[in-house]
Chain A
């Protein structure tokens, strides 16, 4: 079970880096990012708004990912943004009459097909992180079932004996 926790930790930190990098790259090359968004047939009427909204939201989600209590809501936000971005890339490839470059930094040279795959992979990672994380009511349910636990001793402190039995220390 510790492996699951480790995987969850690794995924969330990776997702954090992706959004952090993406947001910073957009701010550094803001004029170009704003210009590229304006070339999108779907976004050009709201390009000015989106040019600010996307990196700010990425930054907010990235910061919330660090805060343990806000991690769940950050992951849902991340999932929504990535799902929307994946759907956008797919629909652009299928329906748009002009394909601009909307990528920044290391994603600058990606073809739209590759971008779709990268987006899909990241979306799946976010989904995995959501599944691997603790549920919304996990602590509350635990507290209702075992109201005295924690008051008397910290959980899971003990040692495994040679015969396989466990001696708890409290």
Chain B
């Protein structure tokens, strides 16, 4: 073998064995195997790190919370169930035989005929200038008087008559919650001028004025973040409630937004589970939550002297797996009790793939419950 041949063979060996400068070591067993082992060990360590963080974290529903529930009807079964499009955001209410849903398009509603199951989209605002100006998170409400559209950022309140006629009103300050309690009376939770808080107001549609302010939602000087809640009115009895999300506080209101009684939901979260902080300085400061948000009360509905609350707090007589596998709705009586609403019992609604309730409504012994992609109707004992 000549010298040049010897060198050529050696060079060939060099390349074949993956030892050259070309990076040909990729598929050599002796090189790849250690890399796989190291990557496997690192992946295992990474997963162990994250699992350790998870186990060390404090999840309120992984422990006993010091209260129990009693169930009224065992597992409730729906008597009607319809699929709804994925862009449906929440159930706005019932008008006639139809359930109305808010969609992701501003000013649009989806009407579902409960008897036939037929659904149709309806553009509520014909005026394109008004529609284009609407926030896509504008709130929709359907009640026995008709449809209402609320855009809190624009301070806009739009009343939609049955024949499609629109009446627009403007509040003097932005608001975050709105519900109608009579033909011309609207309850608002709105920002108070030059104050870092929100308060409950009554807005009279016939005169376009805000009346009778109330401090029912408390004063926390954080833009109303920690004391955020649900504002609902029972159209039949004129009974209003303000239910906090991050604590178990229920405030009973009259139609003048005066506090009639303050009570608690069945759980033990008396203190707000959320804390606020200001991020940034000066005018650019943003108020935000200073920790993970634990929803004590997630959704509520009111009607016929009853308050229904979808709670995210696990009771001691429920296992974590049971609680995850179902949606729980607690029932309260909202008559004028001195200590506030009285707990009557709970309903357990089975859910697939742990899908949580978006929101729900109560009318005529029926709970209409919206979960992502599905609306279910449950009949309950009065």
Q: Which A residues contact B (CB, under 8 angstroms)?
A: 1-2, 4-5, 8, 31-32, 35, 38-45, 76, 79-81, 83-84, 86-88, 91, 95-98, 100, 127, 130-136, 138, 141-142, 145-146, 149, 155-156, 158, 166-168, 170
Contact = CB atoms under 8 A, between A and B. Distances in A.
A38 B308 CA distance: 32
B21 interface: yes
A155 B26 contact: no
B31 A135 contact: yes
A167 B46 contact: no
17 contacts: A1-B20, A35-B279, A35-B288, A43-B53, A45-B57, A80-B45, A80-B46, A83-B43, A84-B47, A86-B46, A87-B47, A98-B294, A131-B35, A132-B26, A135-B30, A142-B20, A168-B11
A91 B57 contact: no
B16 to A, nearest CB: 11
A8 B24 CA distance: 11
B39 A127 contact: yes
A5 B22 contact: yes
A119 to B, nearest CB: 11
A95 to B, nearest CB: 6
A39 B58 CA distance: 13
A145 B14 CA distance: 9
Contacts of B277: 35, 38
B23 A8 contact: yes
Contacts of B279: 31-32, 35
Contact of A83 (B46, B53, B293): B46
Interface of B: 4, 7-8, 10-11, 14-15, 17-26, 28, 30-32, 34-35, 38-39, 42-43, 45-47, 49-51, 53-54, 56-61, 277, 279-280, 288-294, 312
A1 B57 CA distance: 48
Given A8-B23, A76-B39, 19 more contacts: A4-B23, A4-B26, A5-B22, A31-B279, A35-B277, A35-B290, A38-B291, A41-B292, A42-B53, A42-B57, A80-B46, A131-B35, A132-B26, A136-B34, A142-B19, A149-B10, A156-B20, A166-B8, A170-B7
Contacts of B289: 39
A83 B280 CA distance: 32
B288 A134 contact: no
Contacts of B24: 1, 4
A133 to B, nearest CB: 7
Contact of B39 (A43, A79, A156): A79
Contacts of B47: 83-84, 87
A81 B291 CA distance: 24
A155 B14 contact: yes
Contacts of A131: 26, 32, 35
A42 to B, nearest CB: 5
A4 B22 contact: yes
A68 to B, nearest CB: 12
A83 B30 CA distance: 25
A44 B42 CA distance: 24
Nearest to A84: B46
Contacts of B294: 97-98
A67 to B, nearest CB: 17
A91 B50 contact: yes
A95 B32 CA distance: 35
A81 to B, nearest CB: 8
B291 A44 contact: yes
Contacts of A127: 39
Contacts of A132: 23, 26
Contact of B14 (A35, A42, A97, A142): A142
A100 B292 contact: yes
Given A35-B277, A95-B54, A138 B39 contact: no
Given A41-B57, A87-B47, A131-B32, A79 B42 contact: yes
A2 B22 contact: yes
A168 B8 contact: yes
Contacts of A87: 46-47, 49-51
Nearest to A145: B19
